[in-house]
Amino acid sequence: MTFIAPLTTTEAGPEVAATLKAVKTQIGTVPNLYATLAKAPAALNGLLRINEVLAAGTLNASEREIVALAVSQANTCHYCLSAHTLLGKNTGLTIEDTLKARSAGGNTARAAAIAAFAVAVVENRGHVALHDLKQYEAVGLSERDLLEIIANVAATTLTNYANNVAGTELDFPAVAVEVAA
C-alpha cells in the first residue's frame, strides 16, 4: 500500500520538474522511485549524484547491479528487486546471475565476493570480520573495490528504505521477494 505517493508533474516546481525531465530524457521514463523522492529534492538529487559518481568508479555496471540485488534482497525491497532484476538483465546478467547475487553468490569468484561482501556490510552494519575481509581480498577485491561496494550499498539502502517506507508502487516487472532454494 502506498504511503507516500509519487509527485506528479503538475505538482512539481520548475527545478524538480527539470530534474525529472532530465531523468526521463536519460532513461526514457521517470520510475516511481524518482517521482516519490522528488517530494524531497535533496534526497532525489543526492541519489542521482551518487549514482552518477559511482558509475564512473571501478565497479562495472553488472557489478553495481550485483550489489543492488544483494542489498535489496537483504533489505527485502520488492521494488528494488524488481527494478534491478530488469536493470541487471540490461547489463548482461542472466536470471541465474541475478538469483545468485540475491543469495549472496555469483557465477565467478569476484561476483560472489561482491555479493557476499555487500550482504555482510548490510547484515553487520559495516562491522565485517577481518577474516572475511582477507577472504574478499584473496579473490581479488581491492581496498578501492571494497570502498566502492560500501558506497553502492549506501545508495541502494537509501532506495530500499525509501521504497519500503513509501510503499512505492511497482512500475517494473514484478519478481518474487523470496528466492527459491
pLDDT tens digits, one per residue of 142-158: 999 999 999 999 999 99
Q: Cα 11 to chain center, whole Å? A: 27
- Judge contact between 37 and 68, C-beta under 8 A: no
Query: Rounded CA gap, 9 and 61, in Å?
Result: 30
Type of residue numbered 99: L
User: Which residue did the predictor score with more confidence, 33 or 8?
Assistant: 33
Q: What is the pLDDT of residue 152?
A: 98
Q: Cα 59 to chain center, whole Å? A: 13
For residue 97, what is the enclosing H or E element? helix 95-102
Residue 1 C-alpha cell reads as 500500500
Query: pTM of the entire structure?
Result: 0.96
Residue 12 C-alpha cell reads as 512539481
